[in-house]
Chains A and B, each alone.
Chain A
Amino acid sequence: MPITLHVDIVSAETEIFSGTATMIFAPAEMGEVGIAPRHAPMLTRLKPGEVRVQAESGEELSFFVSGGMLEVQPHVVTVLADTAIRAADIDEAQALEAKERAEKMLTDKIADIDYAKAQAELAQSVAQLRAIQKLREKARQ
Chain B
Amino acid sequence: MSGAKEIRTKIASIKNTQKITKAMEMVAASKMRKAQERMRATRPYAEKIQNVVSHLAYAHPEYHHPFLEEREARRVGLIIISTDRGLCGGLNINLFKTAIGAMKEWDADNLEIDLDLIGTKSNAFFKRLGGNVVSTASQLGDAPSITELIGTVKVMLDAYEEGRIDRLYIAHNVFVNTMTQQPVLKQLLPLQGADDETLKTHWDYIYEPDSKPVMDALMIRYIESLVYQGVVENVACEQAARMVAMKASTDNAGNLIDELQLIYNKARQAAITQEISEIVAGAAAV
Interface positions of A (Cβ within 8 A of B):
8, 10-15, 18, 28-30, 40-45, 68-69, 71, 73, 78, 80, 82-84, 86, 91-99, 101-102, 105-106, 109-115, 117-119, 121-122, 125-126, 129, 132, 136, 139
Candidates A8, A18, A83, A110; contact of B130 at CB < 8 Å:
A110
A86 to B154, CA, bound (A): 12
A28, B45: Cα distance in complex, Å:
19
When distances are taken between beta carbons in the complex, the residues of chain A under 8 Å from B8 are none
Tell me the complex Cα distance, A141–B198, Å. Answer: 56
B42: interface (CB < 8 Å)? yes
- Which A residue's beta carbon lies closest to that of B206? A42
Which of A30, A68, A80 meets B209, CB within 8 Å?
A30
B200 at the binding interface (Cβ < 8 Å): no
**B152 close to A98 (CB less than 8 A):** yes
Contact between A43 and B218, CB atoms less than 8 A apart: yes
CB pair A111 B45 closer than 8 Å: no
5 new A-B contacts, CB < 8 A, other than A73-B55, A115-B100, are A82-B221, A94-B152, A105-B136, A113-B130, A139-B255
- Complex formed: what's the CA distance from A132 to B89 in Å? 10
Q: Are B134 and A102 in contact (CB under 8 A)?
A: yes
The reply to whether A41 and B206 form a contact with Cβ atoms under 8 Å apart is yes
Beyond A41-B205, A117-B129, A122-B100, whether A80 also contacts B41 by CB under 8 A is no
B134 touches A10 (CB 8 A): no
Q: Give Cα A121 to B126, complex, Å.
A: 12
Q: Are A13 and B130 in contact (CB under 8 A)?
A: no
Contact residues in A for B44 (Cβ distance below 8 Å)? 8, 10, 14-15, 18
**Contact between chains at A118 and B208 (CB < 8 Å):** no
B141 in contact (CB, < 8 A): no
Which residues in window 64-108 of B have CB below 8 A to A?
A: 89-90, 93-94, 96-97, 100, 103-104, 107
Contact A91 B150 (CB under 8 A): yes
**A–B pairs, 9, beta carbons within 8 Å:** A12-B45, A41-B55, A73-B55, A91-B154, A95-B154, A101-B135, A102-B117, A110-B130, A111-B131
Of all chain B residues, the one with the shortest Cβ separation from A43 is B205
Cβ B52 vs Cβ A125 within 8 A:
no
Name the one of B104, B150, B154, B221 contacting A80, with C-beta atoms under 8 angstroms. B221
Q: How far is the CB of B56 from chain A (nearest CB, A)?
A: 8
Question: What residues on A are CB-neighbors of B25 within 8 Å?
Answer: none
B238 interface contact, C-beta 8 A: no
Tell me the bound Cα distance from A93 to B104 in angstroms: 33
Q: Are B107 and A115 in contact (CB under 8 A)?
A: yes
Say yes or no for B239: interface residue by CB 8 A criterion.
no
Q: Which of B48, B55, B206 sits near A8, CB closer than 8 Å?
A: B48
Is the beta-carbon distance between B154 and A45 smaller than 8 angstroms? Answer: no
Q: Is the CB–CB distance between A13 and B42 below 8 Å?
A: yes
Confirm or deny: B132 has a beta carbon within 8 angstroms of a beta carbon on chain A. yes
